[in-house]
A and B are shown apart, each in its own frame.
Chain A
Amino acid sequence: MIKKIINWLMPKKRKMEENAAMTVNFLEMLAMTKEDEHSCADVYELLDQFVELKVRGADVDKLMPKVKHHLDMCKDCFEEYESLMAALEFEAEN
């Protein structure tokens, strides 16, 4: 009987956890949302410059805060940033 009740409750618990995760995800994004944000195209234009400055050790968060903010918000652009960093690091070492 107890097992039956647990089995009945588990999917509901799982659903509740997923809804909580989704809500937290949304709220975290809303907390980071700004009125004026760079678009993907804006960031693409500046990404090579941003990554070169970063590799040279410049404080890019201060120099190009809107690029940094977009990279925190956009997974696609962040992956391209990481790849470009890997390319320049490899180039510097070889």
Chain B
Amino acid sequence: MQNTRDNDTWLEDLRAEGAKKEAALEDLHKILLRILPAALSRWLPSSSSHFETFIEDTAQETTLRVIDKLDTFQGRSKFTTWVYKIGVNIGLGQLRLKKWKEVSLDKLEEGNEPDEMPSERFAADAPNPEGMLERKNVIEMVQSVMKEELTPRQHQVMMAVAVQGTPLNVVAERIGSNRNALYKLIHDARLRLKRRLEREGLSPAELLAVFSE
């Protein structure tokens, strides 16, 4: 199906009443049903028994949000690209919550995907005893700086997101926050840690070198 409307026509039709609006909504829905599988099948295989329902639900929710946010479209991109952005945000958000549903926040901090930890990388290039001691000192120093500089909330979120790779929107949902606020909290935490290292006369690059020797 060809998208024959330009941005202004989309806005005009979706703001209209009656048959014009109905036709635009129907076209938008059809476009979403065609595009969303291509955008999201990497995270939920199209062979999954839930796939069709998931795409249909995402398309419906996207259409509702598009109508709700229509006045915020600034024309920086094609209207349909803006719509896909909303669809992808909704679809991936749902998939992440579903995937991490069974994992408690305590587990998120401990890490429930240990296979993602690249420990082999360190086993393979283990240095001599002196190098091992140097690594141990850096590890202890970083842990101690984290304890001293970060608030309990910053520490909790850093461990879950930055170390264990838990999606921001999953942690946000668990602790009653939002993704944007959590990114800012992590950014503040990173800045605090970086400034502390600078005060100690150290740079992250210099410390990283200990692990590549």
Q: Are A48 and B77 in contact (CB under 8 A)?
A: yes
Beta-carbon contacts under 8 Å, A1-47 to B: 13-14, 16-31, 33, 35, 37, 39-41, 44, 46-47
Tell me, rounded to whole Å, the shortest Cβ–Cβ distance linking A18 to chain B: 5
Q: Are B168 and A46 in contact (CB under 8 A)?
A: no
Instruction: Decide yes or no whether B103 CB sits under 8 A from chain A.
Output: no
- What CA separation (Å) do A16 and B143 show in the bound complex? 13
- What CA separation (Å) do A10 and B143 show in the bound complex? 22
Q: Are B89 and A44 in contact (CB under 8 A)?
A: yes
Q: A interface, by DSSP: helix, strand, loop or mixed?
A: helix
Beta-carbon contacts under 8 Å, A56-88 to B: 74-76, 79-80, 82-84, 86-88
Given contacts A33-B190, A44-B85, A52-B78, contact A39 B184 (CB under 8 A): yes
Closest A residue to B183 using CB positions: A40
List of A residues within 8 angstroms of B207 by Cβ: 27
Given contacts A21-B119, A88-B84, contact A33 B39 (CB under 8 A): no
- What CA separation (Å) do A76 and B92 show in the bound complex? 9
List 29 contacting pairs A-B, 8 Å CB cutoff, sorted by A.
Answer: A16-B136, A20-B119, A21-B121, A23-B138, A24-B208, A25-B162, A26-B142, A26-B162, A27-B142, A27-B204, A30-B193, A30-B204, A35-B191, A37-B187, A39-B187, A40-B180, A40-B183, A51-B85, A74-B168, A74-B183, A75-B165, A79-B43, A80-B89, A80-B92, A83-B40, A87-B36, A87-B81, A87-B88, A88-B84
User: CB within 8 Å of B: which residues of A?
Assistant: 13-14, 16-31, 33, 35, 37, 39-41, 44, 46-49, 51-52, 74-76, 79-80, 82-84, 86-91, 94
